[in-house]
Structure 1
């Protein structure tokens, strides 16, 4: 049963990391190169779509990893899973404190109502997001190492 939990946790967390990585290094760079109105609309749509989806995905990854850490405490790799859980908690805290406040504003933007500093705000979000992606990649690396 622990094997199934390990696989499920690794897959759920891995796909989440992949989505966040693609936002950071594929989607947002594409949006940044579009004309301003299109960029704003794309960012706003992404903020609404992913803002609705990602919290559940983060919590599911955290819950699965926590159950794995507890259930597998006396198995090899348990310490790695515990550190991964701590990193996933850090990613949630980073999201709540750094990214969600900006995302909550971006989701309402249109070309007509965007603030003058919209580029600075999206650049700040991108920097915070890159840091969060690094944390998530570290957590995923620990999970995959513990799984092996």
Structure 2
């Protein structure tokens, strides 16, 4: 069971962290540099590209980390898996509470006929800040999962 679950969790955690890190290195800087009408169009395009891939990877990481915390034959590894699960769950929470609502709001906008009044720059900055936070958390979850594997390696 561990021989299947450990690589699967590392894969899902690594893919999650990699995608979010990619948004920090390229995606968000591009979006932040666009004028409002182009930003709305580009954000709406990007926001739908990662579903259901990212949710599956994050939920899989949380569930897998919890299972590994219970199954790991080493206490240190269990502790790292618990930390990984908490960090991945925090990433999911930020996604659901902060990023997804903004993504859905942007998808409702017509870039050719933007309504008066919304604080686009504020929403853009908020989305970027929360995306940065969840990126850090996802990378930290991956580091915790790697540390758990290192703790298990001492048993080999």
Q: Under TM normalisation by the shorter chain, which class is it?
A: 0.7 to 0.9
Unaligned runs of 5+ in 2: 151-156
Runs (4 or more) in structure 1 with deviation over 6 Å come to none
- The counterpart of 2:134, out of the listed 112, 132, 140, is 132
* Pairs aligned (count): 147
Select the structure of larger CA radius of gyration. 2
Instruction: State the match for 1:81 in structure 2.
Output: 81
* 8 Å CA contact 1:48, 1:107 repeated in 2: no
Once the two structures are superposed, residues 3-29 of structure 1 have per-residue CA deviations (whole angstroms, 9 ceiling, x without a partner) of 321111101110111001111221121
Instruction: State the match for 1:145 in structure 2.
Output: 147
Residues 63-102 of structure 1: matches in 2 within 5 Å?
A: 63-72=63-72, 74-75=73-74, 76-102=76-102
TM-score (norm 1): 0.87
Unaligned runs of 5+ in 1: none
Instruction: State the match for 2:123 in structure 1.
Output: 121
1:69 deviation in Å?
A: 1.5
Change (3 A) 1:52 1:41: farther
What root-mean-square deviation, in Å, do the aligned CA atoms of Structure 1 and Structure 2 show?
1.8
1:80 deviation in Å?
A: 0.6
1:35 deviation in Å?
A: 4.3
SS in structure 1 opposite 2:147? helix
* 8 Å CA contact 1:51, 1:103 repeated in 2: no
Once the two structures are superposed, residues 46-78 of structure 1 have per-residue CA deviations (whole angstroms, 9 ceiling, x without a partner) of 112235432222212212222212221x32411
TM-score (norm 2): 0.83
Are 2:31 and 1:28 equivalent residues in the alignment?
no
Whole-Å separation in 1 of the counterparts to 2:109 and 2:140: 33
